[in-house]
């Protein structure tokens, strides 16, 4: 049995579920749907949602479908957050409506369009660190937006500048030493 798939999903108050060709989850933060593969069935009882599968060949889909349904329930009830940090002198971000404008040391500012359901909040910069907080109800979309923002200026291991996740560890690399002058010591 799948250990993940067997675990029941608790349903918070204010979350409504309808089971059909796909699982539709509605809550205070929006509406999401989860596809139901063949061989997997949902059952709602006593404020929880349980999954069952037809056979052992559906074990991987059992755990996957349960995880997707759990993320949908949590997303429509409380939502998800991702924290990013911009390191570097002069690196900054401004948000106007659905467009975030990044100044990241290039010759031009970068405009990034935020999709529906994802909000970006820029906290007050501290020294050369600017915290960014992404919030949304869809975990997959939120993670993809965070990865796309990070890709605008990935963290540099030599100068420690760029955009990184809040708890991402970055090892500092040592740069070249110019003692030999590059000619082999002559």
Q: For the segment 61-108, what is each residue's pLDDT rounded down to a tens digit?
A: 999 999 999 999 999 999 999 999 999 898 999 999 999 999 999 999
What are 168's two structure tokens? Answer: 């991402």
What are 96's two structure tokens? Answer: 């106007």
Phi, psi of 139 (to 5 degrees): -65, -40
Distance CA 71, CA 107 (A): 40
Q: What is the pLDDT of residues 27-68, one digit of tens each?
A: 999 999 999 999 999 998 888 999 998 888 888 899 999 999
Task: Give the count of beta carbons closer than 10 Å to the beta carbon of residue 116.
Answer: 10
What are 26's two structure tokens? Answer: 């509605």
Question: What domains sit in the chain, N to C, each tagged with a CATH number?
Answer: 3-77 (3.90.930.12), 80-165 (3.90.930.12)
Model pTM score: 0.86
- Sheet strands (E) in the chain: 9-10, 16-19, 22-27, 30-35, 40-45, 48-53, 80-87, 92-96, 99-103, 110-113, 118-122, 129-136, 162-165
Distances (CA, A) of 186 to 147, 176, 177, 180, 182: 47, 18, 16, 8, 9
Check whether 125 has a pLDDT greater than 90: no
Distance CA 71, CA 34 (A): 10
């Amino acid at each position: 049995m799948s250990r993940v798939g067997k675990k029941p999903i608790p349903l918070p108050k204010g979350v409504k579920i309808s089971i059909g060709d796909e699982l539709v989850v509605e809550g205070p933060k929006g509406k999401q749907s989860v596809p139901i593969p063949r061989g997997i069935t949902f059952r709602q009882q006593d404020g929880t949602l349980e999954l069952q599968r037809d056979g052992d060949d559906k074990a991987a889909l059992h755990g996957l479908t349960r995880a997707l349904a759990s993320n949908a329930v949590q997303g429509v009830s409380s939502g998800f957050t991702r924290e990013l940090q911009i390191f570097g002198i002069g690196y900054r971000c401004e948000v106007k409506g659905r467009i975030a404008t990044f100044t990241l040391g290039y010759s031009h500012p970068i405009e990034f369009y935020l999709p529906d359901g994802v909000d970006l909040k820029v906290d007050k910069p501290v020294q050369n660190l600017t915290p960014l907080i992404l919030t949304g109800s869809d975990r997959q979309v939120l993670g993809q937006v965070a990865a796309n923002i990070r890709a605008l200026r990935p963290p540099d291991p030599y100068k420690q500048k760029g955009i990184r996740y809040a708890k991402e560890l970055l090892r500092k690399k040592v740069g070249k030493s110019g003692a030999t002058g590059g000619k082999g010591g002559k």
